[in-house]
Structure 1
Amino acid sequence: MKQILIAILTITSTFHCLAQSNNKAIDALKNETALSIQSGFDAYKKIAFNIWEYAELGYKENKSAALLRSTLKENGFTVEVGVAGIPTAFVATYGSGSPVIGILAEYDALPGLSQDNSPTKTPVANKNSAHACGHHLFGTGSVAAGIAISKLLEAGKIKGTIKVFGCPAEEGGSGKVYMVREGLFQNVDIVLHWHPSDHNSVMYTSVLANKSAKFRFYGNASHASVSPEQGRSALDAVEAMDYMVNMMREHIPQETRLHYVITNGGKAPNVVPEFAEVYYYVRHPDKTMAVSIFDRITKAAEGAAMGTETKMEYEIIGGTHDLLINKTLAENMQTNLEKVGGVTYTADEIAFAKIIQTSFLTNETPINAAATVQPLHIQKNQGSTDVGDVSYVVPTVGLEAATWVPGTSYHSWQAVACGGTDIGIKGMMIASKTMAFTAIDLFTNPELIKKAKLEFLQSKGSYQYKALLGDRKPALNYRD
């Protein structure tokens, strides 16, 4: 009996030593990777600032996508360009065999919100777009993580394939949906992503499903004073539709978000508008409810056309799913984010932060919040992203990193300003290292992938993915 106990203790001790040895080896890989990414700080900063300066809108990101592609090619990646019928979409691949880990990269800007990199509101003359959501950092940070992993593959320290997906037009264009529909994620085991923010946390909350469309009305032009009876106003139809939709808000689930902008309302008050257009977003936590509410909005459009004796047509612009959360992956990424840590500001950056915080309508977040990592928790999220569609076909996990001064909101001039400084670059490096660390765990631990896939199948259940935007071709001119 004594000999059996000794044997058991010996085996247990051996396994414990092997585990410790393996953990030390993985930690060494992560430390090496962190140094590799940090050593590229200036180079990646230059890339990010170039894209910040380009500020190209969705599906028009020609220079931005080309810069990221060339960076990947220079580092040995094979790049497929123009995937899914989108000129600015790409897939960059390094390595071979399993596992296959994907990293998402975005790089589209938003219309308006022109701003330089100063802490006071200072629009840039003759510039009508800006990176108010930090996608210049998103794309660059993801590329940096992919390159860091490729170096480990090249050295034979890990085995498998890394893919960087160049994803255009996240802001309303649903670029990833077309890439999912094309089957580009079919053989990918796990997908990693991140997003700029004012804090550091792992995404552990779903997003709102979203369906959007442009409703176009056609009437008859006439002189609004001399012969108004000859006119049928397309603008009247838009306003009638908007009125009905706004009345409908009382009779839809409170979690719903409806918003619109009139993109064309005529050219002169004394001319009855023969054409008008309104652009709608419908959001809801449940994808089926979002579609149902969208269908009700189309009925309002039909009624408006009937009542104003105009003709109506609509074009689906985008449609995105909610986000499937994967606890297995989120817990692993949380460990890695805590290992990387938050952002430390210099004295000049603290001064910048104090000035920019004075422009916030409300400010309850201390500046040093950027240096901390939030615990894994469910938080309120009323946004939408086409990453949701990716999460329905492959296990997906992401994080937010403090690229903006704490308290900064998405889609603001303050976000543009922070993104054009080292404050943004520092946060980008946090995200890049965290994704790379998570990828290392996935490459070296097959059981982690197996567990994440099992959870993914349980979360998805019997649902069969189908793009909410149907079979339409990419809306390449949706910003026109």
Structure 2
Amino acid sequence: MTFTSRQSLAVKLVEDLAPELSEFHRQIWSYSESAWREYRSAKLYVDRLRAEGFEVEEGSGGMPTAFHATWGSGGPQVAAYAEYDATPGYSQDAVAERGPQPGLHHWAPGFTDAHSALGVGALAGAIAAKRALEETGGPGTIHLFGEPAEKVCGSKAVHAAKGYYDDLDAAISYHPYWHNTALWDITNCLYWSVVFTFECVEEEPWGKELFRSNSVGSHNLVRSPGALDALSLMVTTTKYTKENMFPSTGSWTLNEAVLGASHATADNLPPRISQLQFSWRSPLYDIQEQIQDVLVRNARHVAAITNTQVSMRWVTRTRPGLPNHALTTALYENLTELGPTTFGPEARAFAAQLEKAVGLEPSEAPFLPENEVLISPQETDRSIREHLVPWQDCTGADDYTEYSWHAPTVRFFTSKPFLGQLGIDLWHWANNAMNGYPAAIDPCWVKGGQTIAATALQVIDDEAMLAAAKDEYDRRRGEADPRLVRPLLPADFAAPTELPWPEYVQTSRGFEWTLPTTRDYGERIA
């Protein structure tokens, strides 16, 4: 195919925006704010979009770090979205030695899968499409959503439940990864997450009256088991019962994380509160429900033996995705016209420094071969299916799937650089260092932004393609499990932004991550 003049204009506009947005990206990357706590990042997006002429709703869906930006009127309505949450525990400076960003704790957040670049690519595409429409005229509406907390699949299920996607004609989902491709039939799985809160409300209903005399000394009294025991038992009980949750077929995961506690300075009193998050993903709704049932039974059992009350708070409930071949074909043709991501001499020189830093022999071609080629959606689908049981049509988890139940949606990737000798390791510090190095990461999001802009304009201009995409969407939605047609969260759902998620804080000690400010943990004993 050949780009229309309007698409070509938008592609050039992304190039023109690149120097400015490279600095923008560096700011987002340096903030490295984690899920539900992306305050500075969201503000940077909102201010830039308003300066560009978008109307912006801050705090959309009741989420303080979300936003909904729109520009234009009439015509097809096409959406993209930005993400900007980092991963706790993976701070890494953009240098050829392992170490956090200056001033941050070594377990502070960092960008492992480049949500920083994801968001800037979407921003570039939205601004370029808007400017092209502005310059050439005609109807069309551009939406850009700010979607926080992707690491817990947090915001998109909330936006969907509250009707933000209902009027869209198409949605474009973008993510930096290790290849330049799009998804075909394989989508992401269901992802559900809850927080159990154990509270020891009654302080001392424990022990015999005989031993409650003050002469014994209050420190020697038998204390109630309390919330810490409940947390510990919930973790171990769930690990014991994992194999009883559902049949051993298909790929699935169940993981836990401890939220912040506040009872570390009193050793003789029962811990009053503990909070434990469970997150699970699988291919089928029934599997998700069965895992939920076992978790609830475990929580009730643990509460009964630790003298606690237990509550369950939903974090998210997402649906699997609906493929759309018509929109995917159009986008991949646009990506083919643009060509794959490529990396210049400066990026390669930095990669050689990283190879030396991790003890590897520098190579002439430091990056994964797949980083700089195109891979068709069908080939991507085939390679994923090699690792799945025949009946499984989804894997992994990402809440972009919520868009696909409200409008035709395409999911595509452009490659960020990976050291070929390390392989596809999203968490290795050397690969993460390149996420903040402009010469290495900018080609990724620039290509993503150009693809988004070109495809958004095709949605607006190509009536036949959009009609085919909508017909396919209607058919797939009509054939789907009826339990999935509507959002799995209620319209009045309140996002759990008030829970004690990790964050940066400002105190008299200064600006710090919620971790010890010292690296002196005492004597290492193991």
TM norm structure 2: 0.79
Match for 1:256: what amino acid?
A: W
CA separation of 1:224 and 1:343: change in aligned 2, threshold 3 A: farther
**Contact 1:211-1:469 at 8 Å conserved across structures:** no
Give the count of matched residue pairs. 456
Match for 2:368: what amino acid?
A: I
Q: 2:263 aligned with 1:256, yes or no?
A: no
Task: Name the counterpart of 1:45.
Answer: 22
Match for 1:65: what amino acid?
A: A
How far did residue 97 of structure 1 move?
0.7
How far did residue 456 of structure 1 move?
1.3
Q: 2:231 aligned with 1:238, yes or no?
A: yes
Q: 2:485 aligned with 1:472, yes or no?
A: no
Helix, strand or coil at the partner of 1:40:
helix
How far did residue 192 of structure 1 move?
0.7
CA separation of 1:385 and 1:467: change in aligned 2, threshold 3 A: same
Structure 1 distance, partners of 2:366, 2:273, is: 46
**Contact 1:68-1:140 at 8 Å conserved across structures:** no
CA separation of 1:43 and 1:214: change in aligned 2, threshold 3 A: same
Task: Name the counterpart of 2:100.
Answer: 123
1:92-127 Cα offsets, whole Å, 9 max, x none, are: 222211111111111222222111002332123335
CA separation of 1:159 and 1:224: change in aligned 2, threshold 3 A: farther
Helix, strand or coil at the partner of 1:45:
helix
1:233-270 Cα offsets, whole Å, 9 max, x none, are: 42332232222322222232442210112335763795
How far did residue 415 of structure 1 move?
4.8
1:417-467 Cα offsets, whole Å, 9 max, x none, are: 222112111100111111112122212211111111121122222525343
How far did residue 302 of structure 1 move?
0.8
Percentage of pairs with the same residue: 25
1:56-112 Cα offsets, whole Å, 9 max, x none, are: 223332222222222222222222222211232222222211111111111222222
CA separation of 1:468 and 1:289: change in aligned 2, threshold 3 A: farther
Deviates more, 1:344-353 or 1:295-304: 344-353
Structure 2 distance, partners of 1:154, 1:450, is: 24
Structure 1 distance, partners of 2:217, 2:374, is: 61
Task: Name the counterpart of 1:152.
Answer: 132
Q: 2:274 aligned with 1:276, yes or no?
A: yes
Task: Name the counterpart of 2:164.
Answer: 184
Task: Name the counterpart of 2:340.
Answer: 342
Q: Which sections of structure 2, spanning at least 5 residues, go unmatched?
A: 205-215, 388-393, 503-526
Structure 1 counterpart of 2:60, from 83, 92, 96: 83
**Contact 2:348-2:366 at 8 Å conserved across structures:** no
CA separation of 1:314 and 1:360: change in aligned 2, threshold 3 A: farther
1:321-356 Cα offsets, whole Å, 9 max, x none, are: 222211111122111112212222223322333454
Task: Name the counterpart of 1:293.
Answer: 291
TM norm structure 1: 0.87
Q: 2:90 aligned with 1:113, yes or no?
A: yes
Q: 2:213 aligned with 1:200, yes or no?
A: no
Helix, strand or coil at the partner of 2:150:
coil
Q: 2:91 aligned with 1:95, yes or no?
A: no
**Contact 2:352-2:366 at 8 Å conserved across structures:** no
Match for 2:120: what amino acid?
A: T
1:136-177 Cα offsets, whole Å, 9 max, x none, are: 211111111111111221123553111111222222151112
How far did residue 390 of structure 1 move?
1.5
Match for 1:341: what amino acid?
A: G
RMSD: 2.9
Task: Name the counterpart of 1:323.
Answer: 321
Structure 1 counterpart of 2:462, from 445, 452, 470: 445
Helix, strand or coil at the partner of 1:111:
coil
Deviates more, 1:224-233 or 1:343-352: 224-233
Structure 2 distance, partners of 1:444, 1:388, is: 25
Structure 1 distance, partners of 2:13, 2:217, is: 67
Helix, strand or coil at the partner of 2:412:
strand
Task: Name the counterpart of 2:509.
Answer: none
Structure 2 counterpart of 1:455, from 472, 495, 504: 472
Q: 2:397 aligned with 1:384, yes or no?
A: yes
Alignment of 1:391-470 (within 5 A): 391-405=404-418, 407-422=423-438, 423-461=440-478, 463=482, 465-470=485-490
**Contact 2:368-2:417 at 8 Å conserved across structures:** no
Match for 2:441: what amino acid?
A: G
CA separation of 1:268 and 1:79: change in aligned 2, threshold 3 A: closer
1:351-371 Cα offsets, whole Å, 9 max, x none, are: 33345467599x999534211
Structure 1 distance, partners of 2:91, 2:69, is: 31
Helix, strand or coil at the partner of 1:229:
coil
